[in-house]
Amino acid sequence: MNYSDMSHIELIAELEKQRKIYESYLDKKLNLNMARGKPGADQLEISVDMQVDVSSPFAEDGTDCRNYGLLDGIPEAKRLFGTILEAPSENVIVCGNSSLNLMFDTIARSMIFGSYKGATPWCKQEKIKFLCPVPGYDRHFAITETFGIEMINIPMTPEGPDMDLVEKYVENDSTVKGIWCVPKYSNPDGYTYSDETVRRFANLKPAADDFRIFWDNAYVVHDLYDEGDKLLSIYDEAKKAGNENIFIMFASTSKVTFPGSGISAIVSGKENIEFIKSILTVQTIGFDKMNMLRHVEFLKDFDSLKAHMKRHAEILRPKFETVLDAFESELSCLPNTRWTRPRGGYFITLYLDKNCASRTFELCKKAGVTLTNAGATFPYGKDPDDSVLRIAPTFPPVDELKVAVAVLVCAAKIATLEKLV
């Protein structure tokens, strides 16, 4: 029976019932974690062959990958990322372990040197603003906050960010210099931007000529089902629009091979890539080429990479379904409560009734179940409705996950009931 249809007495009885269940969890002294978008131990095992010796230390152009050289990566790694990210090799720079580092550096570079050759550095401009589709990725927001960039919430929809609002800001406010996007299986909703959304991004005519779209393609090959979501190529669309420097794309193999030992890439228009390289050549001697070689040798080509990703999907699907099944059977009775059903990525978003997220988080915490902080998916950690919880089902084994979700649904019920009674 839906909680909205219950009488006050029924609600109190239900709350009492749920509190008893909750107490039984407290007795169990659990220590479970659904907070981090972290692959499980079994996912690491499927890339174990990548650890072995490469067959030869030479790249296809003859470069000895053990020595200095090749600032922008070995040709075969550039090609592989180019195929995955749908852009020519020459528009790719292959870098080190963390794509987040590339995003941070891109903002640091814009702060100090400007967004393009000859642009006014952001640190010399009075005000810098970023658009932040919400809910979004907490680490994106942490970067912009650290740099003192003002963040503006943009509501997310299953089609992507509210593009009317995006266009309004970008095309009229020259202090708006960027927008954080996770276009495929967005963090945390798991939404994939529609074709129209991608086209509208590609055709933006910013008021600021140093505005860039930060296109974090973190889950580009991270489908849970054979039929993955299709994301239009931002490179192709931007090029068609004569606007190929509007975006900077980021990606990595963190959730393809090893989060602790992967490679990453930047993709952008020719002018951006040249500008980035002009600074990069001062910044570093080069990124780890042996690891690039290891990756290309292990992942081979796009087809074998897709086959590899299916092995991840086989591990992850039951975890996502464990959470979704529990939500379906247990939370359908809660008013104003919904959740996303992603077909890829690393997260599910649970939308609770207003003012119920923090309370649910706290109840889970007390029972030994760690969730991502309520509010974390919003700039400054402030969820205006206090309704959003990011669920990360990937790390715990299924049996632990079942317990963690049972605690979560119980906590969500209590929080909602406390509000209703």
Helix (H, G, I), strand (E, B) or coil at 223: strand
290 binds a copy of itself (CB under 8 A): yes
Segment near a copy of itself (CB under 8 A); pick from 49-57, 266-274, 306-314, 338-346: 49-57
Question: What is the C-alpha separation between 394 and 187, in angstroms, rounded?
Answer: 13
**Which two tokens mark 42?**
């079994």
Point out which residues pair with 178 in neighbouring strands. Answer: 130, 212
Segment near a copy of itself (CB under 8 A); pick from 104-112, 215-223, 268-276, 368-376: 104-112
Point out which residues pair with 252 in neighbouring strands. Answer: 264
Helix (H, G, I), strand (E, B) or coil at 143: helix
54 binds a copy of itself (CB under 8 A): yes
69 binds a copy of itself (CB under 8 A): yes
Nearer to a copy of itself, 22 or 395 (CB): 395
Instruction: Identify the residue among 286, 335, 368, 381 touching a copy of itself (CB under 8 A).
Output: 286
104 binds a copy of itself (CB under 8 A): yes
Tally of CA atoms within 13 A in the half-sphere of 85 that contains its CB: 33
Segment near a copy of itself (CB under 8 A); pick from 91-99, 314-322, 343-351, 353-361: 91-99
Question: What is the C-alpha separation between 82 and 297, in angstroms, rounded?
Answer: 16
120 binds a copy of itself (CB under 8 A): no
96 binds a copy of itself (CB under 8 A): yes
Say if CB 142 and CB 373 are below 8 A apart: no
142 binds a copy of itself (CB under 8 A): yes
Nearer to a copy of itself, 228 or 375 (CB): 375
Instruction: Identify the residue among 21, 30, 108, 165 touching a copy of itself (CB under 8 A).
Output: 108
Nearer to a copy of itself, 161 or 396 (CB): 396
Say if CB 55 and CB 76 are below 8 A apart: no
Q: Which of 267, 210, 354 is nearest to 73 (CA)?
A: 267
Say if CB 130 and CB 206 are below 8 A apart: no
**Which two tokens mark 29?**
């002294």
Question: What is the C-alpha separation between 320 and 391, in angstroms, rounded?
Answer: 10
Site size for a copy of itself (CB under 8 A): 53
Nearer to a copy of itself, 197 or 291 (CB): 291
Beta-carbon neighbour count of residue 35 at 10 Å? 18
Helix axes 99-113, 270-283, angle to 10 degrees: 90
| Residue 223 φ/ψ, nearest 5 degrees | -80, 145
**Distance linking the first and last C-alpha atoms of the chain:** 16
Instruction: Identify the residue among 126, 260, 303, 399 touching a copy of itself (CB under 8 A).
Output: 260
**Which two tokens mark 151?**
């963040």
**Which two tokens mark 252?**
């990595």
139 binds a copy of itself (CB under 8 A): yes
Nearer to a copy of itself, 5 or 118 (CB): 118
Segment near a copy of itself (CB under 8 A); pick from 118-126, 168-176, 356-364, 404-412: 118-126
Nearer to a copy of itself, 245 or 254 (CB): 254
Instruction: Give the interface with a copy of itself as residue ranges (CB under 8 A).
Output: 36, 38-39, 41, 44, 47, 51-54, 57, 64-69, 96-98, 100-101, 104-105, 108, 111-113, 121, 123-124, 139, 142-143, 146-147, 254, 258-262, 279, 282-291
